[in-house]
Structure 1
Amino acid sequence: MPVYRNAATLEPLYARLLCAIAPLTDRYDIVFVNDACPEGSLEVLKRIALRDDKVSVIDLAHNVGQHQAIVIGLAHAVGDIVAVMDADLQDPPEALPHLVATLLASPDIGVVFAGRRGRYESGLRLGTSFAFKTLLHWFGKVPRDAGSFCVMRRQVVDRLLALPSVPPYLLTLLSACKVRTVSVPVVRQVRPVGASAYSEWKRLRLALAALWGIVQLKVVRRQGRYPTQLDRMMGIPLQRFGSRFNPPLANSAPAPGEVK
């Protein structure tokens, strides 16, 4: 679970997670990835980890962004089923049992997304997000209502971590795993405190990186090699948007320090 400027939501999130997980299993781990948050999140996570030996905290040396932090968390996750969600309480932990039940009901399903419902953002943001997700659906075959809140099988995690280096965006990476994905409707909540770290400019950069990642991975699948020529052709115009388009995955991210 990536954490950045979530100090106010971490304690209620943790309490709600325990209630959501209790009917499912008593064998679980919760992995928080502190993405170099400057506003006290690490201190809250340390207190939680001291109380619960099933909680691990990975403290990154510098900020790498939400999706790179997710990949780092996946690299540290164990278990047959792995869940990903945000720490801002827009994703309701109470939906986890339904997501897991849907996954277990069909052995051919690899990932179950929480299909986003409700007016949890401004109309403009919801509209641009829908347009972007529609493009991802066309090119990457992920559900139109998918977000980062999902559950997946161990095999999917292993496939994702074995992918070549591309711009790390969770939906792009999962689309490249070539497994069946479905979504179930989940009402997303309005952010209880704070504001999104994504400006409109940053959202545009992320969208371009995600779509470019799909192109790269399709070339890798078809040609069996990394598309360096495409990078040379497209790198300059894309970099004008101010984004790094080939950050590595978790294996060469800043060395995380496990708080516990």
Structure 2
Amino acid sequence: MTETPVTPDLSVIIPCYNEGENVPLLFARLIPALEALGVTFEVVTINDGSKDNTLERLLEMQKAEPRLRVIDLSRNFGKEKALSAGLFHSRGRAVVPMDADLQHPPEAIADMLVKWRDGAEVVFARRDARTGQKLSEKLFAKGFYWVFDHLSEVRLPREVGDFRLMDRKVVDTINRMPERSRFMKGIFAWVGYREAEIVYRQGERAAGTTKFNAIKLLRFAFDGLTSFSNFPLKVWSWVGAAISTLAFLYIVARLIRTMIWGVDVPGYESILMSVLFLGGVQLLTLGIIGDYLGRVFDEVKGRPLFIIRQLYEPGER
């Protein structure tokens, strides 16, 4: 088998979490697709604290494929951190992150390379449709993109995930970014550079089930928004001003009414509603401030993005 050069033409990065069933299916398509490109390549896989036999399957694949490198993290750090680990350890002149479930077709990398050779430094892979998703999930995605575009200075390309090609200079720029709260789609868009795109048809998940549920997706969306926008902090100044204005107008109206018609019996319901409404606004405001403060806390601690238990290079075992 061909040995991987120190600086291959292409690095493919694949974060894996409980993807043991998908590993053999993935490499059965990935390696032939990469060999057909006529370039030198490496495949960097990251075992993100899997609880199944993902690591064992990857190491089995490495015995027959010397261009496969396996990074075993000490625990589950999440996809964004695992992807960052792959970017840090990639060596290729071009880098392509992709998922392990074959929803990202390896054959599409050939089209990305064409755009890259034509001068593009970032090549987006835009899905033509969301395969295997419920209507509620599709509507949630559309809503998230709309909110992100209107509240953030960074515009996310529509229907584009982590599947893309990046030039070495782009990856080096991302690796120099010190932030620990990482929303990779936003980071990929923020760095800029010359862009191009291809369109691909998203496949069905080869095996297993998705690791995201509604709560995780909602938290992921909120993390993305707060990573690239301080609008959730600023908006409460306007909310407070609006509530204060309405309260002042209400006070004036009550004073005029009292002077004209006298004092009436105060309403218990109106007082209760006012207290509950203002209390809810205050708690919501504190929660959002707490989220931003937590991000500052994480940055100040300066802990590493991830911890590698072992890096399995070909031929070292």
TM-score computed with the length of structure 1 as normaliser:
0.83
Q: Establish whether residue 237 from structure 1 lines up as the match of residue 287 from structure 2.
A: yes
1:189 to partner: Cα distance: 1.4
Q: Pairwise mapping of residues 10-29 of structure 1 onto structure 2 (< 5 A)? A: 10-29=23-42
- Aligned-partner Cα distance in 2 for 1:88–1:172: 22
Q: State the identity as a percent.
A: 26
- Aligned-partner Cα distance in 2 for 1:159–1:49: 30
Instruction: Report the structure number with the largest CA radius of gyration.
Output: 2
The answer on whether the counterparts of 1:118 and 1:187 sit within 8 Å (CA) in structure 2 is yes
1:16 to partner: Cα distance: 1.0
Moved over 6 A (4+): none
For residues 204-226 of structure 1, give each alpha carbon's deviation from its aligned partner in whole angstroms, at most 9, with x where no partner exists: 1111111221137xxxxxxxxxx
In structure 1, what is the equivalent of residue 208 of structure 2?
194
What amino acid does structure 1 have at the position aligned with 2:141? S
For residues 183-241 of structure 1, give each alpha carbon's deviation from its aligned partner in whole angstroms, at most 9, with x where no partner exists: 3211111213222111111111111111221137xxxxxxxxxxxxxxxxx99524878
Aligned length: 239
The one of 229, 234, 239 equivalent to 1:215 is 229
The answer on whether the counterparts of 2:121 and 2:193 sit within 8 Å (CA) in structure 1 is yes
2:21 aligned counterpart, secondary structure: helix
- Aligned-partner Cα distance in 2 for 1:85–1:184: 15
1:64 to partner: Cα distance: 0.6
The one of 115, 118, 121 equivalent to 2:129 is 118
1:148 aligned counterpart, secondary structure: strand
In structure 1, what is the equivalent of residue 179 of structure 2?
165
In structure 2, what is the equivalent of residue 30 of structure 1?
43
What amino acid does structure 1 have at the position aligned with 2:143? A
Change (3 A) 1:22 1:152: same
What amino acid does structure 2 have at the position aligned with 1:65? G
In structure 1, what is the equivalent of residue 87 of structure 2?
74
Change (3 A) 1:27 1:19: same
1:118 to partner: Cα distance: 2.6
In structure 2, what is the equivalent of residue 231 of structure 1?
none
Q: Establish whether residue 142 from structure 1 lines up as the match of residue 156 from structure 2.
A: yes
For residues 142-189 of structure 1, give each alpha carbon's deviation from its aligned partner in whole angstroms, at most 9, with x where no partner exists: 311211111110000011111131421211111221223333211111
What amino acid does structure 2 have at the position aligned with 1:237? G
Q: Which stretch shifts more, 57-66 or 175-184?
A: 175-184
Q: Pairwise mapping of residues 36-51 of structure 1 onto structure 2 (< 5 A)? A: 36-51=49-64
In structure 1, what is the equivalent of residue 236 of structure 2?
none
- Aligned-partner Cα distance in 1 for 2:50–2:290: 27
In structure 1, what is the equivalent of residue 274 of structure 2?
none
For residues 100-154 of structure 1, give each alpha carbon's deviation from its aligned partner in whole angstroms, at most 9, with x where no partner exists: 212222x2x3211211223411111122122223444553223112111111100
Change (3 A) 1:250 1:12: farther
The answer on whether the counterparts of 1:133 and 1:145 sit within 8 Å (CA) in structure 2 is no
The answer on whether the counterparts of 2:22 and 2:100 sit within 8 Å (CA) in structure 1 is yes
TM-score computed with the length of structure 2 as normaliser:
0.69
- Aligned-partner Cα distance in 2 for 1:11–1:250: 34
For residues 76-123 of structure 1, give each alpha carbon's deviation from its aligned partner in whole angstroms, at most 9, with x where no partner exists: 001110000000111111111012212222x2x321121122341111
2:177 aligned counterpart, secondary structure: coil
Change (3 A) 1:236 1:202: farther
In structure 1, runs of 5+ residues without a counterpart are 217-233
In structure 2, what is the equivalent of residue 230 of structure 1?
none
- Aligned-partner Cα distance in 2 for 1:78–1:235: 44
The answer on whether the counterparts of 1:167 and 1:210 sit within 8 Å (CA) in structure 2 is no
In structure 2, runs of 5+ residues without a counterpart are 1-13, 231-283
